[in-house]
Amino acid sequence: MRTAIGRIGYSLIVFLLFSLISLGCSESILGRGAPATRTAIASRSTSLPPSTVPTPTTVDQLTPAESLTLVQVVERVRPAVVNITTQQISYGDFFRPVPIEAGTGSGVIIDKEGHIITNNHVVEGAERLKITLPDERSFDGRIIGTDPLSDLAVVKINGTDLPTVELGDSAALRIGEPLVAIGNALALSGGPTVTSGVVSALGRSIRPDRGGVLYDLIQTDAAINPGNSGGPLVNMRAQVVGINTAIAAAPGGGIGFAIAINSAKPIVQELIALGKIIYSYMGIDFRAVTPALAARASLPVSRGAIVLRVGQNTPASEAGIRPGDIIVTIDDQEVKDDVTLLKAVRKHKPGETVQVTVVRDGDRRTFKVTLGERPTG
């Protein structure tokens, strides 16, 4: 029985590895700098100095009378929504440097110091940034820090009398609650575009085109178009509850996704404080085990995360974890799928030791894994 499972398991690993390469459907924490995308991220616990990110005001602290009209929401938030134009340097005659426009996106100013939240994919690879406000003021932008895994970035401008927004509490959102998306859709002239919709779903996970997994996302039917990336998703208290990040094509219209602001805030704090995000990692590629996959491959469990590959000289390899192992728990937390595993790992700091229980050839085995710091290169 164990031999049969072993043979099926290794065939499954080969199949899944080809699926991983061709479809980009697996999140890698091997630490080779796999890019993460157009969207989301995990809540993190950090011991950082006080940041400039405002403390959220929860919906419970507001009275119904403080729910604003759509026009009032737009009047409060739109002035702080910026257009971000990225430039790269090309070389013309006699090797003279010539800046060329590489892309455009959106961002939102969060404090008087000029910090702007946007998406990593908006500023990735940019050599120069031009930031334009709706009042037509223009500034040179400076990248403070980027995080491909969460698709978040912080940019800074130096200016006076800058408009700012208030950050809300995405945990207080309810399905069906009205929302407003603001951003520079299609890079149209005349300032940011406004669309409205509702919270369609919460806690979504997606795998964007460029790989990686974004999770704990807000799904909305408010129209989000190219150029909206990095712009705010706003509740009817004029509080930012999400950062628009991805679009999924669907019959009858697209579906928009935004990074929940409660997930974004600790990332933004760490980027402002350190200029980067320090992630812990085990050093494995893995894929979710579903009941359907378990039935097809005669796997011994129907939920978990199967290890496809283990990096050399990584925490997982040193602990004894092998390809084909199915991770079912970390410490006392059940691992139901790949997203659960990502969250469990990322809530720990490098240097901390976790107990990882796997199913190997039908038996459960537990390993102590001392997490490392995920390489950024």
Instruction: Give catalytic residue positions.
Output: 121, 151, 229
Residue closest to 150 by CA, chosen among 45, 43, 30, 280: 43
- H/E/C letters for each residue in 327-359? EEEECCEECCCHHHHHHHHHCCCCCCEEEEEEE
Residue closest to 133 by CA, chosen among 153, 160, 100: 160
| Integer CA distances (angstroms), 362 to 291, 298, 302, 324, 355, in order | 16, 11, 12, 11, 19
State both tokens at 167: 């950050």
Q: Report the distance separating Cα 139 and Cα 133, nearest Å.
A: 9
- What is the DSSP track for 223-244? ---TT-TT-EEE-TTSEEEEEE
Alpha helices (H) in the chain, listed in sequence order? 2-23, 70-77, 120-123, 261-274, 291-297, 315-319, 338-346
Number of H helices, E strands in the chain: 7, 21
